[in-house]
Amino acid sequence: MINLEQIGVHLPQGYLFQNVSFQIKKGDKIGLVGKNGAGKSTMLKLLANWDQPTEGKIHRPKDCVVGFLTQEIKIDSERSVKNYLLESNELLTRLKDRLEELNVDLVNRTDYESDSYLAMLDELSELNHSFQLNEGNSWEERVISVLKGLGFYEEETNRSLNTFSGGWKMRAELAKILVNRPDVILLDEPTNHLDIISISWLEDYLQKFEGAVIVISHDRLFLDNVTKRTLEISLGKVLDYPFAYSKYKIYRAEESERLDRMKKQQDKDIKHTEELINKFRAKKNKAAFAQSLIKKLDKTERIEVDNDGVAKMKIAFPLSVQPGKLVLELIDMGKTYGDKVIFKHINITVGRGEKIALLGPNGVGKSTLLKRVMNSIDGDGQVNYGHNANITYFAQDQAEQLDPTKTVYETVDDVARGDIRKDLRSILGAFLFSGEDTDKRVGVLSGGERTRLALCQLLLSPSNFLILDEPTNHLDIQSKEVLKQALQSYEGTFIVVSHDREFLDGLTNRIWDIDNKTLKIHHFGVKEFLEQKMQSFQDVKAPNPQKIKQEEVVAEKPVEQKLTYEEAKEQKRLKTQLNNQLSKAEKAIEEYEIKLKEMDVVIANLDYSDEANAAKVLSDYDTIKKLLDGEMEKWEKTTEELFALD
């Protein structure tokens, strides 16, 4: 489909990459990886034909359509989100407009036997055929489906695109690409502005997509679930591996270890050769020998190893003081903006050592909930902190609170305490600040760099209760691994908001889910939570008008036949039996709900340091929950059967 032949890109500071050749075929699912500044975004721009290589050629078919989602989106449109997508397919728009013109003309004309009228009928037939062939009849349905999958509520799709934030504009642009089904989809960090539900939907979409996909992402799980091939830009070259990210990392680590051994041997050989040259260069009878060694050395291709020292780092959050058994209590907490209710009647306690993931789609109020917990905004109810609770809060705008006059190093040095201070430069390196970067003033850093620095500062600040709002934004995969490891070993309590599933997997022991303007608590993992959410998402399907029409026709029975005495007697017996079953189910549901409320109190005060007891309590909770679900199913089934008898 696309063939790159010996391409290179030369910048003032030298080659970004050189002599690069590879092919992209139909159906390829490729992850493009490499360190920051390696040239990943540049490569996508070359593939999209936005930029041209300094040397070499890129061959692509004339009819090859490429959809490119860049991080530099600029959309200025007063059209609604829905119309922005509906009008994005020029062919369908042109066909639709012409069909409307023809239909208006045909209605107004009366010269049914004329050649021009018959020619219009022929054109109408051809246009209808072309419209159907290009799936025009399902176009609007497809647009609505993609918008819903990417998190747009139906009532929002009629709003002007210019009323949305940059993140939501990015979603609209992504929807535009997906709905038009190009031959090749290029995605530069597509998950940055998506919530955890939308990411799962996008994965499913791309897995089923028949064209080629090339994606840059710092989301390891997204890469593993979508891609089957990995291209790494390293030291000016492109390395091609027939694996998804995690398997590629294992293979790459083994390869780097082998290269490292070879490089050490080569360095040893070069040093020995240089010693021989210096020894024999001045001797007349050995001068020719020395020259041959020099030529041999000049021809030697030096082995380069692109080591990854960040992933091997081990950093721990410092614990300030041991808090009481209860660290947080929310009493009838809520928040409204005018007539709009964000959430209400939240009653919950958080015990020492709990690890909580706060999840939900964008816009449901996750950041607002954290701000209420921090008492940084007013609202209904009470927020009480436990004894010795020492909270450190990382907000999405945390970077704006850094002192712009200080250097990167001074910013972290101000908060570091104890022996960890001697490792500050290594820790900064884990967050992509190395060499001269540590001497830069905060004021000259980009938004992403400031966010990384704020997170690094947080890592060094003593606390016993962390509240983190999207801490993984602007972090690469290695830096996220450092942060995750630090949180896993953290002895305190934390609440974290993140859309990165791989980061959350194995990190938390409880999920808070903002749903229907209240807070639901789940005691299972992120994977199971997402499976349930995606299942409920798939179960909500658009009604089939034809099916509804048929059901309406069936329902319109002109005459209701009377039952015989025996039939009426049997129906009465069945009703009595079903009513008894219904009463038993209702009684059981009531008992299980009481037990669950009692268990909620137990779990709220659970000491997670006693792993055996905590596991047993959570297992008992799950058992009761399953029994309750079973009784609810019985109640629903019995109710339906009773309804059918009426």
| Coil, strand or helix at 360 | coil
- Does the pLDDT at position 82 exceed 70? yes
What band does 605 get if pLDDT is binned at 50, 70 and 90?
A: low
- Chain mean pLDDT for the chain: 82
The DSSP code for 114 is S
378/361 Cα distance (integer angstroms):
23
Q: Report pLDDT digits (tens) over 117-129.
A: 888 888 888 888 8
What band does 635 get if pLDDT is binned at 50, 70 and 90?
A: confident
Task: Give the mean model confidence (pLDDT) for residues 143-158.
Answer: 88
Pick the more confident residue, 338 or 552: 338
CB neighbours of 324 closer than 8 A, spacing ≥ 6? 352, 386, 387, 388, 389
pLDDT of residue 644: 64
Task: Give the mean model confidence (pLDDT) for residues 477-506.
Answer: 87
Q: Report pLDDT digits (tens) over 161-209.
A: 888 877 788 899 999 999 999 999 999 989 888 888 889 899 999 999 9
Write down the architecture of domain 326-533 according to CATH. 3-Layer(aba) Sandwich (3.40)
Pairing of strands 465-469, 493-497: parallel
What band does 318 get if pLDDT is binned at 50, 70 and 90?
A: confident
Task: Give the mean model confidence (pLDDT) for residues 334-350.
Answer: 88
pLDDT of residue 600: 65
Pairing of strands 493-497, 355-359: parallel
Q: Report pLDDT digits (tens) over 572-585.
A: 778 778 777 877 88
* 8 A C-beta contact, residue 530 and residue 501: yes
Please report, rounded to a whole number, the percentage of residues in the chain having pLDDT higher than 70: 89
pLDDT of residue 606: 66
* 8 A C-beta contact, residue 374 and residue 393: yes
Is the full-model pTM beyond 0.85? no
458/471 Cα distance (integer angstroms):
10
463/415 Cα distance (integer angstroms):
12
Instruction: Could you list the beta-strand ranges (E) of 178-292.
Output: 184-188, 212-216, 229-234, 237-241
The DSSP annotation for 420-453 comes to GGGGHHHHHHHTT--GGGGGSBGGGS-HHHHHHH
What band does 474 get if pLDDT is binned at 50, 70 and 90?
A: confident
605/610 Cα distance (integer angstroms):
12
Q: Report pLDDT digits (tens) over 355-368.
A: 999 988 777 888 88
Burial class from Cβ neighbours inside 10 Å (0-12, 13-18, 19+) for residue 381 reads middle
CA–CA distance from 83 to each of 89, 94, 202, 592 (Å)? 11, 15, 21, 49
- Segment (H or E) for 584: helix 565-604
| Tokens, residue 101 | 């013109």
User: Which amino acid appears at position 330 of this protein?
Assistant: L
What band does 539 get if pLDDT is binned at 50, 70 and 90?
A: very low
Burial class from Cβ neighbours inside 10 Å (0-12, 13-18, 19+) for residue 407 reads middle
Q: Phi-psi region for residue 462, left (φ > 0), alpha (ψ -120 to 50) or beta?
A: beta
* 8 A C-beta contact, residue 344 and residue 518: yes
* Residue 382 β-bridge partners: 331
| Tokens, residue 589 | 């549901």
pLDDT of residue 187: 95
342/517 Cα distance (integer angstroms):
6
Query: Among 278-282, 592-596, 641-645, whose mean pLDDT is lowest?
Result: 641-645
Torsion of the alpha carbons at 423, 425, 431 and 437, rounded to the nearest 10: 170
Pairing of strands 2-11, 14-24: antiparallel
pLDDT of residue 593: 74
* 8 A C-beta contact, residue 351 and residue 604: yes
The DSSP code for 80 is B
| Tokens, residue 418 | 């104890």
Q: Report pLDDT digits (tens) over 172-181.
A: 999 999 999 9
